Amino acid sequence: QSVLTQPPSVSAAPGQKVTISCSGGSSNIGNNYVSWYQQLPGTAPKLLIYETNKRPSGIPDRFSGSKSGTSATLGITGLQTGDEADYYCGAWDTSLSAGVFGGGTKLTVL
Amino acid sequence: QVQLAQSGAEVKKPGASVKVSCKASGYTFTSYGISWVRQAPGQGLEWMGWISTYDGDTKYAQKFQGRVTMTTDTPTSTAYMELSSLRSDDTAVYYCARNVLEWISYSYNCYMDVWGKGTTVTVSS
């Protein structure tokens, strides 16, 4: 059971927009920054979003992050088949004094 | 370029220990912490712990307390993760990641911006 809760799967057509939610609590998302990772099949995770809404160099602006209260959202616009991957949210949990991840969301681009 | 090179795959028997290495290059080793994250087959990411490469301070997930030891060797820019008393459910890919962990604007900022390729650890009798 993950500390952060994500939907197991989402899907959308190429060119469309999709959002992936990540729900937590006051000890993690509610009071700390959120990060998001993309994991393509058979590869290591890759940082997509840090400090809740910032993109590392090289990440296209099709990817965006936001937060409201104890929930965070990853948005992906202009979906491409190459975006098919597992997506994970992460944060620091102050009560646990530990990093925590969501269970992951599998994105299918139909 | 910034890279984390991990040691090769391991096969261990139940009850044994495994030590995985992670050699950093392309940046100042002591400027960033290192986290270890594992992924069991078909499962999600699981944070195991973090080590400060500056002063050796560690934070371990409660689940692994007493079984995991994270260390660093600054002259070689290498981090190590040792897991003892291995069980079959420790079979997983183990990743090291460069980890920013900082307190800014009254909040913790934690993210992993560079990842190793992973080390497969198989525990089987």
- B18-31 pLDDT per residue, tens: 999 999 999 999 99
What percentage of chain B has pLDDT greater than the value 90?
99
B 35-94 near A (Cβ less than 8 A): 35, 37, 44-47, 49-50, 59-62
Of B44, B99, B113, the CB nearest to A2: B44
Are B111 and A100 within 8 A, CB to CB?
Answer: no
- Distance of residue B50 Cα from the nearest chain A Cα, in angstroms: 8
Q: Whole-number mean pLDDT of chain A?
A: 97
Instruction: Tell me how far apart the alpha carbons of residues B38 and B93 are, in angstroms, rounded to a whole number.
Output: 6
Asked if B21 contacts B80 with a C-beta cutoff of 8 angstroms, the reply is: yes
Residue type, A20: I
Whether A32 and B110 lie within 8 Å, measured CB to CB:
yes
B118 interaction partners in chain A (CB closer than 8 Å): 44
Nearest by Cα to A21 from A104, A109, A97: A104
Q: Is B115 on the interface with A (CB under 8 A)?
A: yes
- Best of A48, A51, A53 to mutate (most B CBs within 10 Å, chain B): A51
Contacts of B44 in chain A (CB under 8 A): 2, 86, 88, 101-104
Would you put residue B66 in left (φ > 0), alpha (ψ -120 to 50) or beta?
left
Which of A33, A101, A104 has its CB closest to that of B109?
A33
Look at residue B51 and tell me whether its pLDDT is greater than 90: yes
pLDDT at residue B105 is higher than 90: no
Residues of chain B positioned with their CB less than 8 A from the CB of A92: 101, 108-110
- Give the span between the Cα atoms of B88 and A47, in whole angstroms: 30
Whether residue A71 contacts residue A21, with contact meaning beta carbons closer than 8 Å, is answered with yes
Judged by CB atoms closer than 8 Å, whether chains meet at B59 and A98 is answered as yes
Distance of CA A1 to the CA centre of its chain: 17
pLDDT one-digit tens code per residue, A4-51: 999 999 999 999 999 999 999 999 999 999 999 999 999 999 999 999
Q: How confident is the model at residue A99 (pLDDT cuts 50, 70, 90)?
A: very high
Residue A38 buriedness (CB in 10 A; 0-12 / 13-18 / 19+): buried
Cβ within 8 Å, pair B115-A45: yes
What is the tens place of the pLDDT at every residue in A63-98?
Answer: 999 999 999 999 999 999 999 999 999 999 999 999
